[in-house]
Amino acid sequence: MTNEADGEIVINAYAFFNWSDVIKDASPVTYTLYVSTDPDFGPGPTTHVYDNLTVSELTLPDALTIDADTCWKVMAVDHIFSLTARRRHAGYFRCSVE
């Protein structure tokens, strides 16, 4: 998108996360997705938590920070919280514009 008033180009990039479903017969599973520019996922404005997700995908509602590492982790949780330690995946990526 070009802002014609000052010739500036504005780029918004949104992340889409899609992970494998956890299948557990006895109880329903929900997911918690953590997204942060802080690799320790410390509390504060750089860490976003999306919890009680009932599907294994999410498009982030906010645009990514350009030229910054974005860390993520997703955890599956059942009603007795027994899957938290065993079903966790994490990683990071960088959104750059050249």
Look-up: residue for tokens 């520019």?
Answer: 37
Q: Burial, 31: exposed, middle or buried (Cβ in 10 Å; 0-12, 13-18, 19+)?
A: buried
Tens-digit pLDDT profile for residues 54-95 = 999 999 998 888 888 899 999 888 777 665 544 567 787 887
Please say whether the beta carbons of 95 and 37 come within 8 A: no
Instruction: Report the number of distinct structural domains present in the chain.
Output: 1
The model carries a pTM of 0.77
Q: Which domain holds residue 84?
A: 2-94
We report the CATH number of the domain holding residue 44 as 2.60.40.10
Which amino acid, one-letter code, is at 35? V
Q: Tens digit of pLDDT for each residue in 5-19?
A: 667 777 788 889 998
Average pLDDT for residues 41-59, to the nearest whole number? 91
Closest CA to 52 of 32, 79, 73, 78: 32
